[in-house]
Amino acid sequence: MRYRRAVEKLRSLADGCGHTTRLPVEEPFLQEAYVFGELLEGGDPIENLSVAFALNLPPEEVPWCSEPPGTPWLVDMLRLDKGGIAYWWRSRHEPVWNHVIREPVRFWSLAGTDEAVLDALRERRLADLPRLKASPEQVRHRIATDLDRTLARLQTVHQRYWAHDWRREHRGDGRYPENHLWEATHGYLDLLDAANHFREDAENQ
C-alpha cells in the first residue's frame, strides 16, 4: 500500500469511528483509535496500516490477541476485514501501548478526528506526531500483567473447551470454539516470547 493511500484509508477509518458514536447507547463501545507501526516511520509502500482500538470494556475482557464480545459489528462497520489493515483491541482503562503497539498516535477519540495528526501524516511531518512513549520498565510491567491475564484466559478455555454450554455460548458470527482456543494460545505464547526476550536483554546488559 502506498503511503498516501494509507493516510487516506486512515481518514476513512476515523470517519467510520465517528459513525459508531451515533448508536443510541449511554456510553459508546469504541472510545479511541490509534495508529502505529510502518506508517509512522514514513515507509512507502507499507505492508499494512496498523491500528489499535480502545474499547469500553474492563481489561480482563480484552486479553491480548482476543476478539472480545461486541467487536464483530465493529469489524463490519469499519471494514477492517477488507484487507490492508492490521488491528488490535485494547481496554480504555489501561495504556494502549505494549510490546507490539509501540509509540502509538491517537487519531480519533470521542471528541472527534484529530485533524492535526492527519495533517502531519499527510505532509510527512512525522517528528510533529504526539507519540505515546513508554519506558522499557513500563513495557516490561505491561508484558507481565498481560501475560498473567492471557494465561488465566488460556486455562479457562482449556478447562471448558469440551463443555456443551461453553461451546454453544462461544459459537456464532462466523466464530467457533476453535477460534477462541487458537486466540488464547497465540496471545499467551506471544507474550511469553516477549517476556523471554526482555529477560535475555536484561541479562546481557
Specify whether 152 is located in the same domain as 124: no
Specify whether 92 is located in the same domain as 151: no
Q: Given 86, 112, 128, which residue is the final one in a domain? A: 128
| Domain count for the chain | 2
- pLDDT reading at 143 higher than 70: yes
Instruction: Return the sign of the alpha-carbon dihedral for residues 108, 111, 115, 117.
Output: negative
**Model pLDDT, residue 205:** 66
**Model pLDDT, residue 92:** 96
- pLDDT reading at 38 higher than 90: yes
Specify whether 151 is located in the same domain as 111: no
User: pTM of the predicted model, to two decimals?
Assistant: 0.93
Specify whether 124 is located in the same domain as 145: no
Per-residue pLDDT tens over the stretch 155-198: 999 999 999 999 999 888 788 999 999 999 999 999 999 999 88
The size of the chain, in residues, is 205
Specify whether 90 is located in the same domain as 140: no
Cα end-to-end span (Å), the chain: 38
CATH of the domain at 93: 3.30.460.10
Specify whether 91 is located in the same domain as 65: yes
- Residues of the domain holding 143: 136-204
Specify whether 79 is located in the same domain as 19: yes
Can you spell out the DSSP letters for 59-120? GGGS-TT---TT-HHHHHHHTTTSSSEEEEEEETTS-S--SSS-S-EEEEETTEE-HHHHHH
Specify whether 76 is located in the same domain as 10: yes
Specify whether 28 is located in the same domain as 79: yes
Specify whether 164 is located in the same domain as 72: no
Q: Given 94, 128, 162, which residue is the final one in a domain? A: 128
Specify whether 120 is located in the same domain as 32: yes
Q: Given 65, 94, 128, which residue is the final one in a domain? A: 128
What is the residue-averaged pLDDT of the chain? Answer: 93
Specify whether 120 is located in the same domain as 33: yes
Identify which has the larger pLDDT, 143 or 83.
Answer: 143
CB 87 within 8 A of CB 129: no
Alpha carbon distance 120, 114 (integer Å): 10
CB 143 within 8 A of CB 98: yes
